[in-house]
């Protein structure tokens, strides 16, 4: 089959690789219907994290089950399934606590660190899923094609934006600021709106992203950053700041923006993969009672709650995809994301 392999900085290629095979008894082979490029895929693409040797890449996919191992109970060949951006069994103590990325038996796509050896990356034609009954969620019947983008967001960005909002404690009437206008930040706006936030500020200086943010429920846009951005946010919220800030980038600057914008006693929900090197300033947080909650989003746990709203059309997070390409053009997909020509690119094998 064909799958995406990253060789180094700005060098991703679609290559011929071995077909995956059932191996653990509990696994499934899924034929990918749609995959995409994640903001975090840009770290190795840009060389920020080094690529020691050529490796598979991509962690978001939806598809149709082709075959299952003898121990698989709920998932069947022919099912249309959503996979979270990691593998998990949904039976261990951490999964049952709602923290499936910390599954005691799970792992990550494109690696060989789990039961049954290597599992494929998502930007390819097929993926072996080790814990099929745990990781995969089947839709009721085959979804209409126009639902594909929104269903694909449940693999990562919509669940991750939702995690930012849940971690920050967004509830009915909350005032919210979202730092980051990538797909996750935009989904965080939608998640905050869905949870009942009364006012939602999107921090963005990009017209197309501002437009999506407004469609998703943003009531205000702030273009300033750094000290000017903090001053503008404080001014919008009684001089003290909002109840919740959703940090959806992961740099030192964006986390600083988040921590210094929220009001005393407020909470930063953070889902941007930490990439800046700075730790959290405990003295500042202690003095102002600012909480920090978040991490690797348990999107598998969230699918049960979010899927019905995607299927009914109540939410349309797939709006974050503004470019669709065939898998053969995966290199162009990365370039478009890297150069911010696209918010998020959907790939069809």
Contact residues: a copy of itself, CB under 8 A? 93-94, 97-99, 101-102, 104, 167, 238-240, 255, 263-265, 267, 270, 273-274, 278-283, 285-296, 298
Is residue 250 within 8 Å of 276, Cβ to Cβ? yes
Closest to a copy of itself by CB, 93 or 314: 93
Structure tokens at 18: 């071995």
Q: Are 182 and 321 contacting, i.e. CB atoms less than 8 angstroms apart?
A: no
Say how far residue 35 (Cα) sits from the centre of its chain.
Answer: 12
Nearest distance from residue 115's CB to a copy of itself, in Å? 18
Nearer to a copy of itself, 55 or 102 (CB): 102
Nearer residue to a copy of itself within complex by CB, 144 or 286: 286
Q: How far is the CB of 276 from a copy of itself (least distance, A)?
A: 9
Q: Which C-beta is closer to a copy of itself: that of 91 or that of 289?
A: 289
Shortest Å distance, C-beta 198 to a copy of itself: 15
Separation between Cα atoms, residue 311 and residue 221, nearest integer Å: 29
| Residue 317 Cβ vs a copy of itself, minimum distance, rounded to whole Å | 22
Computed on alpha carbons and rounded to an integer, the radius of gyration of the chain in Å comes to 20
Measured in residues, the chain has a length of 349
CA 218 to chain centre: 19
For a copy of itself, the closer of residues 50 and 239 by Cβ is: 239
222 or 255: whose CB is closer to a copy of itself? 255
Cα separation values, 172 from 155, 187, 201, 240, 291, Å? 26, 18, 16, 20, 19
Tokens of residue 23, six digits: 């191996």
Of residues 8 and 281, the one with the C-beta less far from a copy of itself: 281
Beta carbons within 8 Å of 234's beta carbon, 6+ residues apart: 240, 241, 261
What is the smallest separation between the CB atom of 238 and a copy of itself, expressed in angstroms? 5
Smallest distance from a copy of itself to CB 280, Å: 4
Euclidean distance between CA atoms 185 and 203, whole angstroms: 9
**Cβ-based neighbour number of residue 130 at 10 Å:** 24
Least spacing, CB of residue 292 vs a copy of itself, in Å:
5
Strands 11-16 and 28-36: unpaired
Cβ proximity to a copy of itself: between 198 and 289 the closer is 289
Among residues 299 and 333, whose Cβ is nearest to a copy of itself?
Answer: 299
Work out how close the CB of 13 gets to a copy of itself at its nearest, in angstroms, rounded to a whole number.
30
Minimum CB separation from a copy of itself for residue 122, in Å? Answer: 20
Q: Rounded to an integer, what distance in angstroms lies between the CA atom of residue 314 and that of residue 309?
A: 5
- CA neighbor of 37 nearest in space, from 123, 101, 107: 123
CA 210 and chain centroid, separation: 19
Cα 22 off chain centre by: 27
Please report where in the chains the tokens 């975090």 appear, as a residue: 40
CA atoms of 304 and 318, how far apart (whole Å): 17
Place of tokens 């094609």: 145
Q: Which is nearer to a copy of itself, 217 or 281 (CB)?
A: 281
- Smallest distance from the beta carbon of 15 to a copy of itself, in angstroms? 30
């Amino acid at each position: 089959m064909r799958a995406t392999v990253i060789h180094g900085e700005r060098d991703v290629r679609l290559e011929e690789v071995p077909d995956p095979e059932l191996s653990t008894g509990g696994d499934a082979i899924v034929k990918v219907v749609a995959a995409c490029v994640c903001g975090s895929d840009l770290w190795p693409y840009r060389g920020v994290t080094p690529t020691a040797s050529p490796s598979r890449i991509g962690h978001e996919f939806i598809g149709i089950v082709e075959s299952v191992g003898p121990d698989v109970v709920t998932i069947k060949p022919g099912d249309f399934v959503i996979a979270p951006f990691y593998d998990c069994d949904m039976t261990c103590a951490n999964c049952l606590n709602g923290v499936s990325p910390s599954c005691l038996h799970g792992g990550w796509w494109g690696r060989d660190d789990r039961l049954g050896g290597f599992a494929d990356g998502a930007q390819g034609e097929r993926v072996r899923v080790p814990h099929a009954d745990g990781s995969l969620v089947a839709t009721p019947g085959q979804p209409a094609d126009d639902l594909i983008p929104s269903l694909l967001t449940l693999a990562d960005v919509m669940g991750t934006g939702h995690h930012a909002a849940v971690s920050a404690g967004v509830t009915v009437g909350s005032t919210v600021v979202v730092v980051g206008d990538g797909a996750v930040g935009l989904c965080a706006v939608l998640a905050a709106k869905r949870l009942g936030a009364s006012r939602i500020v999107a921090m963005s200086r990009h017209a197309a992203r501002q437009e999506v943010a407004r469609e998703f429920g943003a009531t205000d846009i702030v273009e300033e950053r750094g000290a000017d951005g903090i001053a503008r946010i404080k001014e919008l919220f009684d001089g003290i700041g909002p109840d919740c800030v959703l940090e959806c980038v992961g740099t030192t600057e964006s986390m600083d923006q988040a921590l210094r914008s929220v009001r005393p006693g407020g909470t930063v929900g953070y889902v941007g993969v930490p990439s800046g090197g700075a730790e959290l300033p405990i003295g500042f947080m202690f003095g102002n009672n600012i909480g920090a909650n978040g991490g690797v989003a348990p999107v598998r746990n969230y699918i049960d709650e979010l899927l019905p709203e995607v299927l009914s059309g109540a939410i349309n997070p797939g709006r974050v995809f503004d470019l669709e390409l065939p898998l053969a053009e995966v290199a162009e997909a990365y370039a478009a994301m890297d150069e911010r020509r696209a918010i998020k690119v959907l790939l069809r094998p």
